[in-house]
Every structure is written in C-alpha cells, then in structure tokens.
C-alpha cells in the first residue's frame, strides 16, 4: 500500500501532498520536512529507494522517489509494493501530467492543484493503484474536462444572466437605445420578467 | 490537445496564489493567509448564498492553504454541500476536500455518507467513481459500517462499468484493510475470483490486489485463484510485446499486472496440480530467459519494468524454495545484478539474495558472491546499499566464512554510518558467538568491537561476552590477558572498563603470575580508570576490588585504603556508598573462609537464548522479510556453549550478579502451588556484616504460610496496583505498608516498607509469604520503618496474587493481617511496538473465539484519554498510535514473559463517551491469559 505521495520542489516547498493514512496536520508537516531532508542529501545517481526508519511508525516502510528538474516525487510504500513497480508508477504519473498540461512544470502544479489531484485520483485511490495505463488515465481526465466544459457552458449562462438582470435598469434601457440615430431593435424583455 | 486547458482556471484563486508567492517573508505570507481565511470564513458565514463557482473557488483556496502547512478547521460543511450538488465540477471538488481534509465529526460523516449513498445509487458511472474514491481515500470505520455491504454488490453486478468495477475493487480492499471484521465473506467472493478472467486489464489488476489481501485471511475461499492467476500470467508472459496494446509499457507487456499476479501466487504454496505447476515453471523460466535477451529499448523505463517482473519472479521462486534448478538460476541472475551499473538493481539484488541465502539449495551458490558483496560494503556510495550488503553478509555467513565476514564487518565499522552502527555491532557479536570455534577469536572480536565502536556496544553485548567467558574455562586465562592489555590503552571505552573489571575480578589470578600483571599492577590499572567512569561502572569496579581482596590477600591493605577514602565512604551516591561501607566491613571482619565463600567465582550461567539475538530481533521489528527469516534460522540453530552444565544450586552469586540482570541463574527451589517465585532478602539497614548475598534468603527454614484469609479489601487494594508499581499498599491506624517494585521480563524486584505509625515498638514482627522468606528485624521501633526486598521470578502463568501475612505484637496484643502482594500477571508484560499492518496481521492470527476475551462495561472513573493512556502504559502494554482508524480507541501490544512460556497479547479499548461505556478486547495465544488480563484491566477504568 502507498501511505503517502509527496511532491516538493528543490527547496522543500510542498506542491502536492496526499496521505492515505490518518495523520494529524503537524505530523504530516513533519513527515514532509523529514522526507525532504532525507531525499535532498542524496545525489542523483544513487539508488531511488531508502528506508525511512520510524518516520511512519514502522520499519516496514520505504521511500521511493524520483527527481525531475525542480521537483521531487516521493512515494512512501510498505513492503507489499514492488520497488521498481512504484518507480514506474511515478513515471506514469509524471508522463500523464505532462500530457495533460503539455510540458508540465512546477507552476502548473501550483496553479492547478485541483486538476493535479483529480489526475492523481485516476492513478491512485486510497493508497492503491487504480490504473497504470497512461492512455486510459488521460482518457478519463479528458472525459472530466469535457464534463466541466459542458457544465461551464450551462452553469456560466444563468449566473451571467442573473447579473445581467440585476444591472439592467429596465425603464432606462429603451431610452438609451433610442438615443442617437442607431436604430436597434429593442429586445423582447418579457422573457426576463 | 492538452486535457487541461490553462485558461479556464479561477481568477481569484490565481490571484491569491500569486500574492502568496510574492510574499517576501514568512510573516507576510502568514498575514496574507490569515486575511484570506478571515475572508473565506465571513463569506461562508454570510447571509448571501454562495453559488457553486464561489464555493469551489474558496474550497480550492483552503486546499492551497492546507498544502502550505496550515490547519484548516472549517469549510467541511461547504464541501459537503458541494459534493451533494448534482453538478460534476462541484461534486468533484467537494469530494476532494473531504478526502484530503478528513474530519471525524460524526454529524458531518453522516451527511457525507448520505451524499455517497445517493451517488452510489445514481447509476451515473462518473458519480459512482467519485463516491467510491472518497470511501477508499477516507477508509474510516464509519464508512466501512455504512458501505461494506454495498460495495461488493457494485463490484460483482453484471451491468457495472469497468471503471466502476476497478474503483469498487480497490474501495473494498481499503475497507477490508481498515476494518476486516466489517467486510463479510459472501457469495460475491467466488465471483471476485472470476474477475481474474475479465477482459479489461485494469479490472484484473484491481481484482488481483483485492484477492491478494483477502486470501491472506481465508486462503481456502480463494484457492481457485491460483490456477486462474497462472494462466493469466502465462498469457501475458508469452505474449508478444505488442499484443496488449495500451497495457504494454515501454515494450513490456502489462508489467504491473504481472508483478501483482506473482505477488498473489506468493500467498500460496506451489500448485499441486501438475499441469498448473508445469505452466507456472514455464512462465518463470521464460521470465528468467527474457532477462538474458538484449533490451528492446535503451530507455530506463523498459529495463525497470522488465526487472520489476524478474525480481518478483525470483521472489516467488524463493518463496516456493522447491525447485533447485530455478533457485540456482535466480541466484546467478542476482549475481549479475550485483555488478550492474544501476544502483537500484544492486540494491534489490542484495535484498533478494538475503532471502536466497537461507535456502539450502542456493546457500552455496550465494556464497560464491562473497567477494562482490564485501566489495559492495566497502565501496558503495549509498548507505541504503551498504546496509543491504551488511544484511546479506550476515545472512550468508556460516562456519567457513565467519572469520572473513566478521573481519570485514569489523573493518567496515570504523567508517560505518552512525545510523547503522549499533546494528552492525549486534550482528558481529552474534556471528562471532555463533561461529566461534576458537573462543580466543571470539573474545578478540568483542574487545575489538568495544574498541572500535564502544558507544554502540549495548549492554547485551558486553553481558554476553562475560557470560561466555564465565561459562568456558578454556578461554578465561586468555580473556584476562587480553582485557589487561586492552586496558593499557591510554583512552579506553567505558564498556572496556566494565568488561575488564568484571573479568579481572573473576580471573585476574590467572595472569597474576607474570610480574607485568601482578595483582597490584592490575588493581592500579583498573583504579586509574575509576574516576572517569559513571556510577554504574564504579559500582562494578568496587565489586571487582572486593573480589581482588579475596583473590590476592596482598592487595587488601591498598584496597581497604581506597574503600576507606572519604570519596567512597561518604559518596553522595547511595549505591556506591553502600558498597564501599559493606565491602570495607566485609573485608575487615570476615574470616578468609567466609570471604572465599562469599566471593567465590561466579557459577556458569544457565544457557538461554542469546540476549543479543533477542535485541536484534526487537530492533528489526517482527515481520516478514529477510529479518524474519534470520530470526527463524537463528532461533533453530544451537548456540555455542549449549552443553554447559546446569548451575549448581550451592553456588554463591556475587553481589554484583544482579547488576548484570541475570537473576534467572540464582538457584531456587520451586515454590509449591505457585508459579511465582519470590525470594525474600533483608537488605542491610544499617548494613549487617555479610552484605546479604541473595542466597541468604534460602538459609532460613520456610515459616508457615499465612494462616489467616486475606483481608476483605485485599482484592481492592491489589487492584490499585495493577497499573502502577509504587504506592501505599495498606494503611491502618498502626501500620503503613508501602511498595516499590520494578519488573523486567519475567523478573521483578519488590521493596516492601513497613512503617510503624505509632510511638510504641512492634514486637515479634513477622511478615510471611506463602513462599520461603526470611524474617526481618523482629522489632519495629515506634515511628520507624523496616524494609524488605523480594526478588520475584514468574515461572508460569498464574491468577492469584501471592499472599503476604503479617504478625506482630503491638503493646502486648497480637496483631495479624493478610494481604495480597501486588504481583499480577501483567507485571511481566513487555511492551512491543509494531505498525498497523503488523498489528492487524497478528490480530487476525488470533481470531479463534477462545483466544479472545471481551468485556463491555460502564466507566467507573471520568473518561479522560490521558489517564486512560497512562493506565494502559502502567498495565505494561505498548500503546500503538495510529493503528486504530478511530483515534479515540486505544490499541496495545506486548508479551507476557514467564520462565516457561511467552504469551503475545494484543488489546484494544474502545471508549464510548456518550454511553460512558468501554469495550475492551484482548487477544492472546492463550485462552486463560486473555481472560485473566481482560478481568484485570477491565477493573481499571
């Protein structure tokens, strides 16, 4: 099982944090800090696994991480997961982000946190791997976007309409329209009433 | 086209994030965040109903603030509103907030569960998935209670979409992990197994994960999965790299699923059916063959995926441990990886080889790689890899390689990382002992250990070397000579002084013939270290000095001078002062014969499991993996020195024997009808001549056991001491009895203080125990206190506490009183720490009805979690945090240590504040222990 997924940048600023076991806020922050210190002091060509001691309260856990440009992706897993498998999974996640954001960069993670969470949700739920097939994941994310767009179209309309109605000072409108020589057909306002 | 278009974000959110990013200081950032929090709070509280868009925006802001490390304690209600919306975008963000910021407020959970229920029933696959993800992410008990029945239905329903099935399988898995008791096995189990045949690979993958977890509890229910898994695996392994289209990852067909299937097979023994087995062996061979083929891609992802399968296949081969041919091939493959340029592969190869080393078929094959592994220990840049190399060396060590491996590990120790030094020390000590043919080598090794890494040599290690030297007379002279030489170093570690002091005190005479190590030289050498040492070491050295007086009468004058010095006789430390006073007295009044008897050489220690081994096991934690294997192998192996004669009952342990915590060696007649062994000694107060070595207790004839029945309130008094060790046991207008006790493993020591509250002396004061005892001073002056010390050993399980009878005369009137001594079974509880997974695994293992004892009872005291915690700790169990999904519950684990058996205990206490009730559940491997502990503990709350 995956206990936590942590993404932070080279300065230790968390960019995506997901815990799959219940931990108090302070504990989470401490784990993020300690994980960062453990990972930071390792150079890039040594192994991608390290035992995290009692960080999660057991000897069974390992940190498996990859370093991409400015970001560290760290998965904390127990012994039921294959180390190389998780390493692949990190790659799948990052490649998926890259496809969804077109050349993903740290800023995308910052400004589209909700999206990143939704993408992660298609890969891992409750600490278990849901899907490893990138095309399938991207298809799900695209389906989500479509839904959002469709709703955006629908939901945006009424709210615009409402504010439009609020701003309209009905008696004035005909007068305004009549000013000048532009002849505009007065819309039939009855539907708004 | 990117799936996420960047333009449609929320402007307010972007502005806020930019603001935060532009903050120049932490203070400015906090200020900005607080401003935003206040803003959101007022928006949420305001009268104006917020539309979905604004709610979503604010919730996103809260998530961002949470990510920055600030606690968020509001917004949950808004999130619940969002997830109940029928707009996807709002629902999605509502669920996200709830699963990231889990809250255990029960009213809130009811609302969330309601939303989930509606979505599960909606037949809209997108909504169903969102709901299932939320259950899986939160995975709380309340959710398990609400949905454990529903999720399996969704999973096996014929018309469920693939994506929903995938989510449902993992959701069920999570619920099973969180609350195994709530996920019932039903007719759906058979259908889950058949998901292995599903068309959709994603569904199969999720199903394999689920079955792997479920089958551990009920292997028989899922047995049919073996043949299905084998055929699925065989189809994947033999497929061309293009057959599986989307599930081919960098030219490797379905690596993730293959790994999962191989893991599943590791839950079962090799298939019995010849056809299935043949097919599986073929698969494993194919995987091994593929490793030798040239890579289809230069990308690291390709080799990663390929090797993930390979390592899992090797793990399965090791698990079966029945195909010598495959085992040797696996070993050769790992041997190649040991020299691979990828650090990850070297790491994994070392780890897998550890497991291979314990197989009889491949042990020899593993040994051929010894030089490579030693090379890894010396040259790897990565501490994780070096640690694995040390583990492997330990696992592959046998009589033929021991000297080489121990030497390498010792030299590695000089530069080893601090984090792993103690473990290396333990390993070296164990190997040196286990494979010692020549005990002088063993002594050298341990002394080297102390020299190189004295700080990391734990008590167990130096206790053990003393045990062994005492038990083997062929090495005593050598040991004395070696420690003498080692002590000559200008700066030597305190542990060296301890070992040196002890050994010279026992066997210094063996080297005293040489004028270079004459008695006075030995004494001078030891005493030159005295002032730099801690109290414990100085106490030990004082015992050495008195032993010297016996061994070498010529040192008597010098040593008495030292003992008489003000710095000893008036030492502020009571232990040192007492020793100095007693030893001085003893040396001046006892005759040579008495001295020789009291200070006789230590008797051999009884053979027992090496304390170091126990320590290493404890350190590594119980659990699966190579450590577990080591433990199994070592436990079975006969430790050296096993043939020692049993301790003679006429022996005289020296006063410092208890310093070593080896009281188990003290001779003792078994007390009739009780599994508790209590010996009673009266300490010198003021010190009588003779220093009261513990065996005094056995000189007095056992007085009659207490005749009166215990006081009616004796049980209640006893009850007060279940969770504490010190306090007032009994008090009336005449007398106060105080107790101080400490327990370690199956041994305990108890001090009883009898205080006379009157101004008249008590006469004929006789406390008696149901077991042998010795009288204390027969009179207790008015206002005075006498003290009695009991050494206790728990021989086996017991229920009744030993009785303490008191008889004395107060002003001519005979008084008598019988109490229960506060010694209950839980005193011999040794706490064990473990993680949630371990705990639940053990919990499951103890699932037979007679192993469990449960009580539901009303709280007798206010329900304060801190008090409860303290009581549970006092009870002796470890308190395991974050094991129970409900943070209000307490779980604990420990081992009841008796001389004859050890009983593992798990406990769980569930307070219900509303009902003012508790539910207490104990599971142990012994029915009577479960019940007894449950009874004892239930009285405490």
B383: closest chain A residue by CA: A50
Give the distance from residue A46's alpha carbon to the nearest chain B alpha carbon, in angstroms.
6
Which of chain B's residues have a Cβ under 8 Å away from the Cβ of A152? Answer: 8, 89
Per-residue model confidence as pLDDT tens digits over A64-117: 999 998 899 999 999 889 999 999 999 999 999 999 988 888 888 888 888 899
Give the distance from residue A139's alpha carbon to the nearest chain B alpha carbon, in angstroms.
9
CB–CB contact A59 B2 (8 Å): no
Per-residue model confidence as pLDDT tens digits over B848-902: 778 888 888 888 888 888 888 888 888 888 888 878 888 888 888 888 888 778 8
Mean pLDDT on B396-407: 91
Domain hosting residue A36, numbered range: 1-151
Chain B interface mutation, best of A130, A136, A151, A154, highest count of B Cβ atoms under 10 Å: A130
Name which residue leads in pLDDT, B281 or B703: B281
Per-residue model confidence as pLDDT tens digits over B923-939: 888 888 888 888 888 88
Whether pLDDT at B696 is above 60? no
Name which residue leads in pLDDT, B140 or B104: B140
ipTM field:
0.80
Q: Please give the pLDDT value at position B243.
A: 62
Closest CA to A54 of B448, B835, B699, B659: B835
Domain presence at residue A170: no
CB–CB contact B60 A1 (8 Å): no
CB–CB contact A15 B621 (8 Å): no
Give the distance from residue A136's alpha carbon to the nearest chain B alpha carbon, in angstroms.
8
User: Based on the structure, what is the number of domains in chain A?
Assistant: 1
Which of chain A's residues have a Cβ under 8 Å away from the Cβ of B625? Answer: 60, 79
CB B827 within 8 A of CB B932: no
CB–CB contact A125 B136 (8 Å): yes
State the average pLDDT for chain B: 81
Q: Please give the pLDDT value at position B479.
A: 92
Which of chain B's residues have a Cβ under 8 Å away from the Cβ of A143? Answer: 126
Quickly count: other Cβ atoms within 10 Å of residue A43's Cβ.
8
Closest CA to A18 of A82, A100, A96, A74: A74
Q: Quick one: how far is CA B186 from the chain centroid?
A: 35
Domain presence at residue A104: yes
A66: closest chain B residue by CA: B344
Quickly count: other Cβ atoms within 10 Å of residue A37's Cβ.
10
A133: closest chain B residue by CA: B247
Per-residue model confidence as pLDDT tens digits over B555-594: 888 888 888 887 888 888 888 898 998 898 888 888 888 8
Domain presence at residue A19: yes
Domain presence at residue A95: yes
- How many Cβ pairs closer than 8 A exist between chain A and B? 223
Domain presence at residue A174: no
Give the distance from residue A160's alpha carbon to the nearest chain B alpha carbon, in angstroms.
12
Per-residue model confidence as pLDDT tens digits over B647-667: 333 333 333 333 333 333 333
DSSP B599-623: TPPPPPPPP-S-HHHHHHHHHH-S-
CB–CB contact A136 B263 (8 Å): no
Phi, psi of A45 (to 5 degrees): -105, 10
User: For B746-881, where are the E strands, in sequence order?
Assistant: 747-756, 762-769, 785-794, 803-810, 813-820, 829-831, 852-858, 878-880
Which residues are within 8 A (CB) of B666 and not within 5 positions of it... i.e. 6 or more apart?
B653, B657, B679, B694, B695, B791
Domain presence at residue A61: yes
Domain presence at residue A166: no
Which of chain B's residues have a Cβ under 8 Å away from the Cβ of A79? Answer: 623-625
Per-residue model confidence as pLDDT tens digits over A117-161: 999 999 999 999 999 888 889 998 898 888 888 876 554 444 444
Angle at B840 between CA B838 and CA B842, to 5 degrees: 70
Q: What global pTM score does this model have? A: 0.65
How far apart CA B923 and CA A163 sit, in angstroms, is 65
Chain A interface mutation, best of B1, B3, B67, B616, highest count of A Cβ atoms under 10 Å: B3
Domain presence at residue A156: no
Q: Which structure tokens are listed for B26?
A: 């932490």
Name which residue leads in pLDDT, A158 or B286: B286
CATH code assigned at A128? 3.30.450.60
Give the distance from residue A173's alpha carbon to the nearest chain B alpha carbon, in angstroms.
28
Phi, psi of B835 (to 5 degrees): -85, 175
Paired with B790 in beta bridges are B680, B750
Give the distance from residue A171's alpha carbon to the nearest chain B alpha carbon, in angstroms.
27
In this complex, the residue of B17, B209, B246 whose CB is nearest that of residue A133 is: B246
In this complex, the residue of B9, B307, B382 whose CB is nearest that of residue A112 is: B9
CB–CB contact A130 B167 (8 Å): yes
């Amino acid at each position: 099982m995956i206990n936590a997924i942590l993404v932070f940048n080279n300065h230790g600023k968390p960019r995506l944090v997901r815990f799959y076991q219940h931990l108090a806020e302070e504990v989470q922050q401490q784990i993020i800090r300690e994980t960062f210190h453990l990972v930071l002091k390792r150079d890039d060509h040594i192994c991608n696994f390290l035992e995290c001691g009692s960080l999660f309260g057991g000897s069974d856990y390992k940190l498996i991480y990859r370093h991409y440009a400015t970001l560290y992706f760290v998965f904390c897993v127990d012994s039921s997961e294959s180390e190389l498998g998780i390493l692949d999974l990190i790659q799948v996640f990052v490649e998926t982000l890259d496809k969804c954001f077109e050349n993903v960069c740290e800023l995308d993670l910052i400004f589209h946190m909700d999206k990143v969470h939704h993408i992660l949700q298609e890969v891992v739920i409750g600490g278990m791997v849901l899907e490893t097939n990138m095309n399938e994941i991207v298809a799900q994310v695209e389906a989500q976007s479509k839904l959002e767009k469709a709703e955006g179209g629908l939901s945006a309309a009424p709210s615009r309409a409402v504010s439009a109605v609020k701003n309209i000072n009905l008696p004035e409108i005909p007068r305004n329209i009549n000013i000048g020589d532009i002849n505009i057909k007065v819309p039939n306002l009855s539907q708004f009433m | 086209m990117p799936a996420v278009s960047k333009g449609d974000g929320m402007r307010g959110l972007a502005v806020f994030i930019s603001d935060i990013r532009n903050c120049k200081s932490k203070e400015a950032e906090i200020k900005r965040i607080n401003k935003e929090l206040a803003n959101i709070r007022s928006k949420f509280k305001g009268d104006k109903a917020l539309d979905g868009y604004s709610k979503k925006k604010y919730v996103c802001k809260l998530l961002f603030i949470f990510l920055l490390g600030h606690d968020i304690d509001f917004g949950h209600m808004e999130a619940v509103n969002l997830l109940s919306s029928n707009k996807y975008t709002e629902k999605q963000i509502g669920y996200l907030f709830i699963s990231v910021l889990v809250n255990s407020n029960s009213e809130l959970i009811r609302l969330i569960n309601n939303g989930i229920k509606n979505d599960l029933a909606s037949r809209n696959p997108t909504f169903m998935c969102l709901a299932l993800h939320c259950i899986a992410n939160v995975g709380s008990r309340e959710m398990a209670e609400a949905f454990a029945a529903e999720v399996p239905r969704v999973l096996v329903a014929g018309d469920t979409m693939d994506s929903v099935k995938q989510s449902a399988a993992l959701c069920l898995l999570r619920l099973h992990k969180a609350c195994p008791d709530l996920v019932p096995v039903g007719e759906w189990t058979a259908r889950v197994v058949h998901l292995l045949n599903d068309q959709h690979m994603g569904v199969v993958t999720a199903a394999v994960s689920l079955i792997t977890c479920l089958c551990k509890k009920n292997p028989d229910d899922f047995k049919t999965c073996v043949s299905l898994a084998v055929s699925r695996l065989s189809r994947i392994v033999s497929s061309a790299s293009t057959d599986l289209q989307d599930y081919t990852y960098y030219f490797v067909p379905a690596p993730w699923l293959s790994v999962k299937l191989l893991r599943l097979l590791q839950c079962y023994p090799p298939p019995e059916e010849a056809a299935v087995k043949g097919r599986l062996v073929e698969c494993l061979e194919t995987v091994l063959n593929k490793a030798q083929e040239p890579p289809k891609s230069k990308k690291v992802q390709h080799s990663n995926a390929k090797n993930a399968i390979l390592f899992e296949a090797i793990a399965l081969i090791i698990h079966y441990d029945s195909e010598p041919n495959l085992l040797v091939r696996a070993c050769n493959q790992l041997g190649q990886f040991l020299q691979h340029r990828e650090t990850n592969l070297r790491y994994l190869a070392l780890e897998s080889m550890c497991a291979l080393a314990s197989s009889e078929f491949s042990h020899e094959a593993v040994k051929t790689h010894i030089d490579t592994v030693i090379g890894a220990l010396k040259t790897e840049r990565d501490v994780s890899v070096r640690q694995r190399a040390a583990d492997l060396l330990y696992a592959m060590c046998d009589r033929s390689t021991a000297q080489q491996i121990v030497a390498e590990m010792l030299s590695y120790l000089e530069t080893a990382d601090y984090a792993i030094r103690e473990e290396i020390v333990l390993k070296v000590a164990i190997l040196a002992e286990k494979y010692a043919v020549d005990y002088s080598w063993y002594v050298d090794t341990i002394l080297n250990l102390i020299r190189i890494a004295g700080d990391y040599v734990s008590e167990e290690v130096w206790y053990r070397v003393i045990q062994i030297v005492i038990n083997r007379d062929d090495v005593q002279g050598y040991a004395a000579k070696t420690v003498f030489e080692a002590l000559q170093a200008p700066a030597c570690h305190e542990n060296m002084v301890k070992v040196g002091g002890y050994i010279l005190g026992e066997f210094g005479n063996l080297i005293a013939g040489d004028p270079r190590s004459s008695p006075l030289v030995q004494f001078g050498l030891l005493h030159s270290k005295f002032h730099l040492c801690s109290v414990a070491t100085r106490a030990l050295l004082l015992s050495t000095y008195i032993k010297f007086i016996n061994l070498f009468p010529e040192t008597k004058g010098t040593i008495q001078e030292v003992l008489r010095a003000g710095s000893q006789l008036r030492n502020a430390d009571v232990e040192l002062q007492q020793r100095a006073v007693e030893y001085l007295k003893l040396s001046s009044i006892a005759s040579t014969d008495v001295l020789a008897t009291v200070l006789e050489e230590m008797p051999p220690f009884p053979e027992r499991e090496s304390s170091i081994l126990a320590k290493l096991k404890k350190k590594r934690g119980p659990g699966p993996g190579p450590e577990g294997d080591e433990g199994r192998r070592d436990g079975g192996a006969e430790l050296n020195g096993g043939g020692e004669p049993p301790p003679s009952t006429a022996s005289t342990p020296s006063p410092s024997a208890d310093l070593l915590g080896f009281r188990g060696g003290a001779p003792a007649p078994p007390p009739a009808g009780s599994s508790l062994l209590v010996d009673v000694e009266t300490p010198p107060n003021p010190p009588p001549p003779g220093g009261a070595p513990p065996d005094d207790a056995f000189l007095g004839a056992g007085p009659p056991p207490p005749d009166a029945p215990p006081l009616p309130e004796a049980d209640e008094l006893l009850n007060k001491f279940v969770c504490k060790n010190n306090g007032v046991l009994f008090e009336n207008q005449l007398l106060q009895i105080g107790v101080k006790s400490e327990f370690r493993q199956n041994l305990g020591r108890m001090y009883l203080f009898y205080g006379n509250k009157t101004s008249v002396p008590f006469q004929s004061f006789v406390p008696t125990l149901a077991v042998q005892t010795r009288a204390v001073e027969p009179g207790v002056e008015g206002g005075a206190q006498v003290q009695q010390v009991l050494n206790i050993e728990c021989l086996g399980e017991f229920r009744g506490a030993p009785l303490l009878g008191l008889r004395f005369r107060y002003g001519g009137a005979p008084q008598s009183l019988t109490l229960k001594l506060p010694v209950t079974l839980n005193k011999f509880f040794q706490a064990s720490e473990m993680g949630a997974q371990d705990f639940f695994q053990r919990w499951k293992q103890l699932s037979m009805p007679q192993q469990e004892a449960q009580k539901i009872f009303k709280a007798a005291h206010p329900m304060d979690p801190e008090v409860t915690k303290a009581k549970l700790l006092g009870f002796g169990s470890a308190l395991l945090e974050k094991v129970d999904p409900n943070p209000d519950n307490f779980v604990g684990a420990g081992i009841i240590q008796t001389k004859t058996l050890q009983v593992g205990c798990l406990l769980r206490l569930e307070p219900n504040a509303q009902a003012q009730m508790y539910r207490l559940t104990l599971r142990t491997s012994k029915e009577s222990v479960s019940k007894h502990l449950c009874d004892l503990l239930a009285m405490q709350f």
